[in-house]
Each structure stands twice: as structure tokens, then as C-alpha cells.
Chains A and B, each alone.
Chain A
Amino acid sequence: MLLIHCPYCKDDRPELEFSNAGEAHIVRPTNMSDISDTEFEAMFFMRDNPKGIALERWRHAHGCGRFFNVARNTVSDKFLKVYKAGEPRPSDAEIEELLK
């Protein structure tokens, strides 16, 4: 069982308290009604599923209830970085660094 650090509670809590909420940094367009079918497909259906660092959303469902983002290595299953919703996506250089 993983221990996950909640950036809002500032504590390591057991995996049981959290739920995964899919890939992070997919922004719902503000002109949602006007986007093309291709854009809709990219936004709603297409996901990266990388081997290595995955940026994904988690929710501290049985805790503070907040959504936040993590960088998880899908090979080692290690949470390498945890950051609040709304904070910027880690740069490629930072991801490279996390993979080391």
C-alpha cells in the first residue's frame, strides 16, 4: 500500500484515503461549445499512458477532499512530486531530473 503525501493536509496518508482521477493538466477549453470534433477527441479521449513519469490527478477523497497533482514513475510506482491543483506542469527538465 502506498503512502501518498497530500499537499493540502501536508501529511503522508495511506493510499486507501485517495482516489486516482486520471491524467493531469488537461484543461477544459473555456469555449467548450465551439471546439472541433478533433479537439474534443484530443481533450476527452486521448491519454498519454507513459512508461516513466506520469502526471496525474489524485483526490484526497477520504480526507480533505481536495484534488491535487502528482508526478508518478509508472515503472517504480514512486510518487516523485506532489503539487497543488493549479500549479504549473513540471518542465521537461524537471521531469528529466525526477527520473534520475
Chain B
Amino acid sequence: MTPSSKQPYRAKSHGALNHARTVRFTFDGKPYEGLEGDTLASALLANGVHLMGRSFKYHRPRGVMSAGVEEPSALIGISRDKSNSGARVQPNVRASVQEIYDGMNAVSQNRFPSLNFDLGAVNSLLAPFFAAGFYYKTFMWPRKAWDKVYEPFIRRAAGLGESPTETDPDRYANRFEHCDVLIIGGGAAGLMAAKTAAAKKQRIILCDENPSLGGWLLADSDVTIDGKSGTQWVKDTVAELQANENVRLLTRTTGFGYFQQNMVGLVERVTDHLAQPDMDLPRERMWQVRADKVVIAQGAIERHLVFADNDRPGIVLAGAAQKWLNQFGVTVGNNVGVFTACDTAYAAAFDLYEAGTHIAVIVDQRATVDQALLEQANELGIRVMPNAGVVGVTGKLRINGIKVKTASGSEETIEVDALITSAGWTPSLHLYSQSRGKPIWDEASQRFLPGQSPQACVSIGACNGTNDLATTFAEAAKATGGRAPKLEIENDVSLAGGTIGMASESAETGKAFVDFQNDVTAKDIKLAVREGMHSIEHVKRYTTNGMATDQGKLSNMHGLSIAAKMLDKPVPEVGLTTFRAPYTPTTFGSFVAHARGTLFDPSRKTPIHEWAQENGAEFEPVSLWQRAWYFPRPGEDMHEAVDRECRTVRTSAGVFDASTLGKIEVVGPDAAAFMNIMYTNGWDKLKPGRAKYGIMCREDGFIYDDGVVGKLSDTRFHVTTTTGGAPRVLNHMEDYLQTEFPDMQVWLTSTTEQWATIAVQGPKAREIIQPLVTGADISAEKFPHMSVVECQVCGVPARLFRISFTGELGFEINVPADYGRAVWEAIWERAEPAGACAYGTETMHVLRAEKGYIIVGQDTDGTVTPHDAGLSWAVAKSKPDFVGKRGLQRPDLTASGRRQLVGLKTSDPKKVVQEGAQIVADPEQAIPMKMIGFVTSSYWSGTLERSIAMAVLEDGFARMGETLYIPMEDEVIEVEVEGTVFYDPSGEKING
């Protein structure tokens, strides 16, 4: 090897990267150089840096373990902001995945003040407190310490990186896609499946989480396929697929979740690897793919070996070392030891040897090792120790030696600067399991394998437990309906073999890590079992094994095996925890995509919205609607504006945008019969041209909605609903019409947005609108309260109601929505000189409360019947049936003691009680007091110059004149019970 001064561990003879294309980046502020195509891990390793992080609980120094998404230890914070504003800081990025780019700014996590010297490492001394279940044991007593000591401590210690507090400035996109075959994984298996499917002209999506397709073939320098190298075969196959218009290849794209009916979520990382991303590109793109068939070719993940201090920097997986060498041209050390339980690590060792690295020793856990491997090692002069184990290491921030123990019991320390290990390969069952397939235990190979998925998917290659390339190719071709290809494959290394659980028994002396990310040791798992956790689900939660962001990709099988051995049970009886989406951590941004800010929810606006905006209205959201709340004049606060608006309506007039009211057109020969079923009132006797206040109940007798209904003809009703209730009322009506009364000749149409509704209320209302109305006589005699007429307003076809939600003389003008603003302005032109005002929903609320008009959902809560609300007059007695009639007869609904709607006046007229406040009969009684009702509406009434309130109260109708009490935190408010109509009880004004 010819070490370059800047990247001393770069092997010029190896790897696919271009040595002329250097990239500069910083790690913890220190500048480094890497090559284009490097991951952060490979670039740091090229510079001889193994130490990349500190562990979660014990703050142990940690290096990078793996070269893939399974990485548990090397979690880094990446700052993508040039300005260092912090908004683009992403914590917990795996160094083994993140590609470097010019100017990248990476920082290590979970250390203070620095990686080399970390004060938090004192936690290692407190290790006895952090053993399995420590959350449950340590923080129990004393109770008082919980709030002030334990919880803050846990919160500070919890989590690894820190997420930014700023709003995410990046854009995220999402797409829906359909295809015949979705192939997840672009290694040998995935590529062959795609090749076969493409030949059948199927529409294919193939995704792979890596920047380039090829999977393990890119890391294997020996294998040949029909005489070609693996990388050449990949290159040719990808070129062939790229040329096919039916194939979509997605790289840097993770299949993270397998949902119902073959919907798979993919997340594509579009710009995270770029130094200067095109501003038009989204950072990530979420694909929701619905596939006829899903081919899972996820591959396998290499396990680490469990022995004392197996987490020290310098210890890496053998497969990772091989990948770094053959793909990136990086060696993990100059004098490398090998500790293995399977054959693949030999290939890694031989490759490293060839690149000039000294192989100090191969320690093999197995008693018998393949003769050919032994011979090859012998030829290269590499010492092999079969039937031996590494039982410890020396060196803290970087290993400098390994302690090897042979079967005979002799121990020896061998100097190394890195150790590559392999316990064998775990088939990735994540997506198969997410498809609700059950993993099946294979006793012979000591691993879980996929069985039959309930969904249309098939697992192929290493994730199916297939150990060799020829069988993988055959499976892949078969999966997409083809025949096994006839290919000459040479120098393929089998993935078979390996071990799970403790690698060497004397490991009790040091910390033998099972789960690196959550700092779970073999001892913790044993302790959990001893303390009674006998199912893996319990062991997992007690120890937190496999519960970190890597979801135990390395640790699950080891943890399971250790627990099974302790329990002396077969592995499948101890169980395997369920795999859940996402396969790897997925940003919230990619799920949210465009649905944020103003695009989070649709916002509904009336045709008069802009006029209100131009005239200074404040708005409030009511369901999805934005409604004008009040119209403050310069210098007015809300209270003053509402006071003025109320007074103006009562003395002159007010104009109100009521367009948001739900409107349903009920039409047909059976319209009246249908209305008789849906509403508590009777509709037969109502004459065309008249309107009525209707109450809708559910079958149980409780108020569901209300509104004024105009009868336009015997076969046509103009029904209004509450603003928020329109969709559910229509749904409720449709339900009865379609499923209970399908023979009725009735048609229902939502017309909420077809009509703009302008309410003109007040003594001058008629005077204001009269000249604008043609085709109808709206005089008091001809057009009394509760009338409706079809006419023209400003020459526009209109439905004009004489109704009032204020208690004043009032009209509601419905015109086609497109004319809404023009008609409003025409009315306003007459209203303003007459001394009228525009008013908003707050004034509307006060005015209606002064008259005791209820708001469904405010004065009722789903347990209030029409009788409770004092609306018995609106419930027909002679009708044979309506929805709620039977429910209202239920014993509980007719019993005494029901809460009934009443009015309340405070003894101190200036005191406005709080809505929701509880009412008691005796404020001196002991706590908990008996609460006999609560306030539903409460306002300051400028007109009455006092506060008014409505409440539901036990036996309220019988309590008129009683004095009751509302205990608040700092006072007790005295109230008197009375009727709900505070203003103009005789109704003189409304009929004027």
C-alpha cells in the first residue's frame, strides 16, 4: 500500500472512486479530505479516524461498525446550512450512509466537551445503576424526587442528537405510482428479477437505498458471472434496464414500510448528498407505490460477535471492511485481526492482505474450518487459530490489541490496530414481516426465514436465506415468471454458517455489547431473564434491546439467543419481536410533504371574505371556514367593537355574512314525508312561503343539529344547518334516505357554497333592503316573521327569508354565490348611510344569547334533548315516527333530575362568569362538591348593561329564582336562575 499523506488509509489499487475528485469536509471542526462517492465513514477511515461517537448510556467511545443502514454507533449531526442557522441540522445521521460533499459540516454527538475527552463517560462508573430495568428501579423513591430530580435527569439524558427548534426550511414532495412489479433492493437478486420482468414488458420500479445499484456485488472482488466481474455484470445489467422505458430505477430510495394491499412506502433522498442542490428540487420525495407484485430483495445483514469490549473503536464488521476496501479503496487498519464464525470474513481478510494490509491473525470460533480456506491462509502466511475466541481487547479510544483464548484455555494478547468480526448473516425479514408474514425458525441454519406472506409478495436472495449467487439468480428469475438463467458463476462465497448469542464464555469480565445503540450488554439480558422476563417482548422492553433507531438490526438475534439459552427453551418459543415501519428512520418532512402551513388543511372562504378583509375584520376559524369575527374601528379592542356592533344592530341595523350556514336542498314528491322523519317538527301543515325552526335528533333522542327550514313548495325545502354540521347532517339524511327509506322519492343536494347569505338585522332592516327587492312584497303584513319568498335582489334571483337570529326585525338574503359580493356592496351602500354596521360572529353570539337562541355544540353537548333545551314546542306530539321519537321515551330521558337549559344572572351585574364553570347549590360544602350543572354560554351584554349566561342545570326549569354559586379559584360567584330570554321576551321587535 502506498499511503497518501492526506488519506493514509486509501488503497490506490482498490475501489471504484476517482482519486482525482477530492472533496473537503469537516468533522468536529477539523478539516479532512475524502473522495467523491465516499460516505462520511469511508472518508474518515481513509484518514485513519475510527472514533466517531459516544454511546447513549455509558458514553463509551464508539467507532463505525458497519458500512450500511444497520449502523448503530457512528451517528453524526450534519449541518446543511451555510449560515449555521441551525434549521438544517439533522441529528443521528449514520456516517456509513451519508455521502460527503464539498463543504460538509459534520459533528459528533453525545459528548462534552469533546469526543476524546467526554465528561459523560463518568456514567460508566455508575453502570450498576444503568443495568436492565434501571428506569423501573432507580427512579421509584422517594416520590418527591420524581418531579425535580429524576424526570429532568431522564429527559436530559434521553435521546442522542439534538433536533433543531426552527421550522424545517426544506421542501418535500410526494408521488403516487402504480406498477406491475416493485422490486425492493437492487443487488444481484433485485437486478436479476428486474431483468426477467423487463423481458416480459412489465412495468417495473426497482429501488435501492444505496447511491448505486449492485448491492454486495460491488464489494465482492472475486466473483465472476459468465467470465465478467461482478461489477461489470452490474454495469451491463443496469445499462440494459436504464434503456427500458418500462423500468424506473430509484437509487438512494428506501422501501421503508409495507402497508395493506401491496402499498409500499418509498422515500427517495434527493439532495442530501449534494453540495449545492438545485433550489427547485425537493429534499426528499415520498413514493406511495401500489404494486401488483412486490419482490423483496433486501439482502442480509452481518452480525457482530458478542465478546467483552466488542464496542471499542477499531472493531468493525468483516463485510464492512471488505466493502470499504473494494468499493471505496479504504483499509480499516495496517495490522488487522480477524474474529469470525463464518467463511465470509476470510474473503475480507484475503482482500485486505492483497491491498497490503498485514493480517495479524484469524481467530475462528469454529473447531473445523474449511480446508481450502486454511490452505489459502497458509499460502499467504496468515496465522489461523481455529476453536478459539477473542475474550477482550486493549485500547480505549482505539484498540491496540486483542486477547485470544484457545480451547485449551491458553490466553495470548496479539497486537492489532483493527479487528474485523463476523457472526454470520441475518436475512432481513423487515418488509416481509411488515407485510404480515410470519417469520419461520429454521433450526438447521439457526435463523428466521420468510414463509408465505398473506400479500402478493415474494422474498428472494439473501433475505430469503439463500446463501449463493446461482440459487439467488434462479429464485429471482422465477419470482418474476422467468426461467433460471444459465450463467457460469465462479468464486462465489457462501453466506452460510455463523453463530448467535455469546461468542466466548469468558466474556463476563467486561461489557459484551449486544445492542450498541442502546448500550445493552449480554449481562443485561441475562439479568432481565433472571428477574422474570420470559418472553422476548418483555426482555426487549426491560433491557431496551433492539429499541433504538436501528431497531436491533445487529442485536435482535443475539439477544434472543442469549435469552433462549438462559430459559433453556428453543428460540421460536421465546419469540421474535415484530418488525415495524419504518425500516430505517424516516423524516417527518417526507410524510408531511406539502401538507403544511396554509396547505395543511383547506381553508373555506365566503364570497364576502375579501370585503371583510378590506374592511378590517378580524377572523375566527369555524370548522374549515374563516369567518369575520368582529370589525374593529381604529382604536377599538374586541370588547369595544362588539359592544358597538351590538348596540348598532339593536338601535339601527347590522349586516352579517351568514354564507357559511350549511344549506341542503330537499326536493321530491316525498320531501315533506322525509322531513317528517328527519326532524322532530311536523312539516305537513307548513304552507309554502313559510319557514320553521327545525330540530334534528339522533335515534337516541339527543339534539344533533338545528336550523331554519323554508318551504318553497310542497316538493321543495330549503334546509339550513349549523356551519360546522353541514357535512354530517347531509350524511345523516343520506343514510336514512338510502338505507331505511329507499323507496322515498327525495333528492338531497348540498347547496352551501351555491348561495351567499347576507343577513340584515335591526329596526332599519326593511328600510335598507326594500328598494333593492323586486318581485315580492316585504311589508310587515305580507311578509311576516318566518316567511320565505323567491324574488330578485339587485336584479339577481334570490331566496329572501324573513328570519332573525338576533331578536330584531331581520332578513336573510340568499343570492347565487357569484353575486354575493356585489349584492353585499349594494346593501352596504344603503346600510352605511342609515347608520348600520357590518358585524361578525362574536356580535352574532351575544345577540342570539340575549334572546336565548341555542348554538348546537355549545349549549348542547350530545346529551341534551329538545325537552332539556326548553324546545318541547318544536317536538311534534302527533307524528307516528321521527328519528329520536322512540329514544326520547327512554326512562332516563323522561326521569327527573335531568340537566335543563336555563338562564343565569350574576348578582353582581358586572361579573361575567366563565363558560364551562361548574355550578353548586352550597359553596360551603366539603370538597369534592356536588356539581349540579355548568355554564354553556356567557357574555357581556352591552344592551342590557350586565352579564348574561346560559347553563345546563339539574332540574333547571324548577329552579327559577333560586340563588346558586359558581366556585372559582379565587372567588365564589353568586348567580340567580331565570329563563333564557333576556331581551324582548314578548317578541315585539322580531315581529315589527
Contacts and interface: CB of A to CB of B under 8 A. Distances in A.
Contact of B885 (A3, A32, A59): A32
Contact of B738 (A3, A32, A33, A66): A66
Interface string A45-85: 00000000000010101000111000000001100000001
A79 to B, nearest CB: 9
Q: Which of A3, A28, A44 has the most CB of B within 10 A?
A: A28
B114 interface: no
Interface string B277-313: 0000000000010100000000000000000000000
B881 A57 contact: no
A86 B890 CA distance: 29
A96 interface: no
A97 B298 CA distance: 35
B886 interface: yes
A33 B742 contact: no
Given A61-B731, A67-B739, A85-B739, A37 B263 contact: no
Contact of A67 (B436, B735, B881): B735
B740 A1 contact: no
B740 A3 contact: no
A40 B263 contact: no
Given A37-B891, A44-B699, A32 B739 contact: no
A2 B455 CA distance: 13
A37 B739 contact: no
Contacts of B887: 40, 44
B128 interface: no
A9 interface: no
B739 A40 contact: no
Interface string B237-261: 0000000000000000000000111
Nearest to B454: A76
A32 B886 contact: yes
B734 interface: yes
B113 interface: no
Q: Which of A2, A21, A32, A59 has the most CB of B within 10 A?
A: A32
A67 B731 CA distance: 10
B955 interface: no
Nearest to A41: B890
B597 interface: no
B609 to A, nearest CB: 24
Interface residues of A, number: 23
Given A76-B436, A76-B454, A85-B739, A40 B261 contact: no
B176 to A, nearest CB: 9
Contacts of B880: 33
A35 interface: yes
B881 A86 contact: no
Contact of B290 (A3, A21, A35): A3
Contacts of B731: 19, 59, 61
Interface in A1-36: 1-3, 19, 21, 27-28, 32-33, 35
A57 B734 CA distance: 13
A21 B261 contact: no
B700 interface: yes
B578 to A, nearest CB: 15
Nearest to B263: A1
Contacts of A2: 260-261
Contacts of B288: 1
Contacts of A76: 436, 454
Interface string B673-702: 000000000000000000000000001100
B886 A65 contact: no
Interface in B739-796: 739-740, 742
A60 B881 CA distance: 28
A1 B260 CA distance: 6
Contacts of B735: 21, 59, 67
B402 to A, nearest CB: 51
Given A3-B290, A66-B738, A33 B261 contact: no
A35 B880 CA distance: 13
Contacts of A61: 731
A67 B890 contact: no
A33 B884 CA distance: 9
A1 B886 contact: no
Nearest to B741: A28
A19 B887 CA distance: 25
Given A67-B735, A77-B260, A33 B740 contact: no
Interface in B859-888: 880-881, 885-887
A61 B881 CA distance: 27
Contacts of A35: 886
A33 B699 contact: no
A67 B738 contact: yes
Interface in B71-91: none
A3 B885 CA distance: 38
Contact of A33 (B290, B881, B891): B881
Nearest to B259: A1
Given A3-B261, A33-B886, A57-B739, A65 B881 contact: no
Interface string B555-580: 00000000000000000000000000
Contacts of B700: 44
A61 B261 CA distance: 21
A9 B880 CA distance: 37
Contacts of B885: 32-33
Interface string B44-70: 000000000000000000000000000
A37 B890 contact: yes
Contacts of B739: 57, 67, 85-86
A35 B699 CA distance: 13
8 contacts: A1-B263, A1-B288, A3-B290, A19-B731, A21-B735, A28-B699, A33-B881, A67-B734
Interface of A: 1-3, 19, 21, 27-28, 32-33, 35, 37, 40, 44, 57, 59, 61, 65-67, 76-77, 85-86
Q: What 4 A-B pairs are tightest by C-beta distance, nearest first?
A: A28-B740, A67-B738, A32-B886, A3-B261
